[in-house]
Amino acid sequence: MAQVPVTEGVFTWPSESPQLIGSRCVTCGNHMFPVQQGCPKCTGAETEEVLLGRRGTLWTWTVQGFPPKAPPYAGDVDPKTFKAFGVGYVELPGQLKIESRLTEADPEKLKIGMEMEMVIVPLSTDANGNEVVTFAFAPVA
Amino acid sequence: MTTEVAIVGIGMHEFGRTEGVSGMDQGVIAVRRACADAGVSWEDMQFAFGGSMAAGAADTMVSLLGLTGLQFINVANGCATGGSALFSAYNTIRSGVFDLGIAVGFDKHERGAFRVNTKGSGLGDWYGASGLALTTQFFGMKINRYMHEYGISQSTLAKVSEKAFRNGAMNPMAWRRKPISEEEVLNSAMLSYPLTQYMFCSPGEGGVALILARADKAHLYTDKPIFLKAAVVRSRRFGSFEVLAPSIALEHNAGPTVDASKAAFEMAGMGPKDMDLAQLQDTESGAEVMHMAENGFCEHGEQEFMIQAGETEIGGKFPVNTDGGCLANGEPIGASGLRQVYENVLQLRGQAGARQVPNDPKTAYTHVYGAPGISGVTILSR
């Protein structure tokens, strides 16, 4: 089955070590994600594209315990088969905090401050039979 | 010299689910009740500000209320729609343009968690497709971090809900009027860790209308005018942690609630210790806990003791969400902020019935918070 990204321009794909694509303000150096024009920190209008770090620490988290509404959600919403998934903010040193799915959904195994690494995970299957993938962060073993 | 402003009439359509009555019709009923309360007719209204998120353009209600030619301005400002309508009405009278007008908010939402319009919120389709476009996740993540930093317990979150449903049971306008115990709250379905089903409010229906007048003419309409001492709306600043944010800055800003609260106290010439009661945004029970500190009513972490000791109960030192809050009333976005003011007017008039705060309260505070990082605060006094 072919793999396709949930969107272009948010993370590098295909890649052996995928990275999120963000912006950096050329005036003040502030990082932004996803790519955007205009800096919310210094109000500067010029930004440049930058690849973000792949590792960071878990700043906070929750567990999505019920199927989201579809649309917009593309994943499994069948209450019989839906699996809860983790969601958190991962702090990338010197850059910013990224909101992301987490590969871990067990509250006992999620701890604020734990080391995390970016991965690509399957999300759904599209009309052409391709596997749609998105980004997530996984605890570093 | 600006003119002082008084609330001289209040009207509400019951919150909850009202089959067969549109959101707009609920707004119209609220307007009629507010007019009756003030002893005025719709023809007396010189201006109106109104809004809803999901129930239509407010100004079309003139075809139901009467085509009097008044100035009617629609307000659409997310969760601060009602607060923004009130802010606009307040300043219209303060500036001396008109003497008597109305702020109205109403809504009617589909069941279940809000379906976020990612495009309308400036977010890519991938965000919703990936399962991140849920406001509930933000609330779970904000309180989880807060509990980690300040030692708030799960029991305290549950006690906030227990109080809300107990207060709601004494409010004939509330949606949820059955008390739910702390244990039941803790044992209900875990929706977004650490928040369970009964710790969350639900999108709902309802309408509220408030009639405002120049303070020096308030006696024409009521013998119990309630004075609006401050109405403030603030948006987020860089570094604050807000709902529906694909990323946040490393540096920290305390957020729009802190800004709105400070500005409101300054405008009123009062401080947190001068307030006798408050209605604070409780989208979920953790929000009420955090908003107690963000609005200046305690230090971060003190809520654990205060709530466990019952200080925020109706008979406690500082009653919070006396009408059951969003938890017991649900959240019709356009009306929610105005509901808080409606409740405070009842409390200051001494008309809150079974849930009346004792000892003749003289001042009251409201705070609304919502997407995409916006807060509205009002301060009322007798």
The answer to whether residue A22 neighbours chain B at the CB level (below 8 Å) is yes
Whether residues A10 and B124 touch (CB distance < 8 A) is answered with yes
ipTM: 0.96
Average pLDDT over residues B316-321: 98
> What does chain A look like in DSSP terms, one character per residue?
--EEESSSSSB--S-SS--BEEEEETTT--EESS--SS-TTT--S-EEEEEPPSEEEEEEEEEE-SPPPTTT--S---TTT---EEEEEEE-TTS-EEEEEES---GGG--TT-EEEEEEEEEEE-TTSPEEEEEEEEE--
Average pLDDT over residues B267-296: 98
Q: What pLDDT shows up at residue A37?
A: 92
Task: Check whether the bond before B272 is cis (ω within 30° of 0).
Answer: no
Residue type, B118: T
Residue B1 has pLDDT above 90, yes or no: no
Query: Beta-carbon neighbour count of residue B205 at 10 Å?
Result: 26
Position B370 confidence tier, pLDDT thresholds 50, 70, 90: confident
Whether residues B131 and A87 touch (CB distance < 8 A) is answered with yes
Looking at the complex, report in whole angstroms how far the Cα of residue A33 sits from the nearest Cα belonging to chain B: 6
pLDDT tens digit sequence for A70-112: 999 999 999 999 999 999 999 999 999 999 999 999 999 999 9
> What residues of B are in contact with residue A99 (Cβ under 8 Å)?
132, 245-248
Q: Choose from B116, B119, B126, B144 for mutation: most chain A CBs within 10 A.
A: B126
The residue count of chain B comes to: 382
The answer to whether residue A83 neighbours chain B at the CB level (below 8 Å) is no
The answer to whether residue A129 neighbours chain B at the CB level (below 8 Å) is no
**What is the domain partition of chain A in residue ranges?**
54-139
Position B173 confidence tier, pLDDT thresholds 50, 70, 90: very high
Instruction: At B200, list the tokens.
Output: 């969350």
The answer to whether residue A88 neighbours chain B at the CB level (below 8 Å) is yes
Query: Beta-carbon neighbour count of residue A103 at 10 Å?
Result: 15
Q: What pLDDT shows up at residue B375?
A: 95
Whether residues A62 and B144 touch (CB distance < 8 A) is answered with yes
Looking at the complex, report in whole angstroms how far the Cα of residue A93 sits from the nearest Cα belonging to chain B: 8
Residue B118 has pLDDT above 70, yes or no: yes
Of residues A65, A74, A99, nearest to B190 (C-beta):
A65
The answer to whether residue B140 neighbours chain A at the CB level (below 8 Å) is yes
Average pLDDT over residues A37-58: 96
**What is the domain partition of chain B in residue ranges?**
5-111+201-381
Average pLDDT over residues B60-76: 96
The helix (H) or strand (E) run that includes residue B161 is helix B154-168
The answer to whether residue A101 neighbours chain B at the CB level (below 8 Å) is yes
Average pLDDT over residues B46-75: 96
Q: Choose from A27, A82, A96, A99 for mutation: most chain B CBs within 10 A.
A: A99
Q: Phi and psi of A25, rounded to 5°?
A: -75, 125
CATH class, domain B5-111+201-381, is: alpha beta
Beta strands in B21-137 (DSSP E): 47-51, 71-74, 100-108
Instruction: Yes or no: say if B360 and B350 are a contact pair by the CB < 8 Å rule.
Output: yes
Q: What pLDDT shows up at residue A1?
A: 74
pLDDT tens digit sequence for B121-145: 778 899 999 999 999 999 999 999 9
pLDDT tens digit sequence for A14-42: 999 999 999 999 999 999 999 999 999 99
Rounded CA-CA distance A25/A33 in Å is: 11
Of residues A59, A61, A64, nearest to B131 (C-beta):
A64
How would you classify the pairing of strands B247-248 and A97-102? antiparallel
pLDDT, averaged across chain B: 95
What part of B 103-122 touches A (C-beta under 8 Å)? 112-113, 115-116, 118
Task: Check whether the bond before B194 is cis (ω within 30° of 0).
Answer: yes
The answer to whether residue B191 neighbours chain A at the CB level (below 8 Å) is yes
Of residues A7, A32, A87, nearest to B125 (C-beta):
A7
Looking at the complex, report in whole angstroms how far the Cα of residue A132 sits from the nearest Cα belonging to chain B: 10
Rounded CA-CA distance B339/B325 in Å is: 9
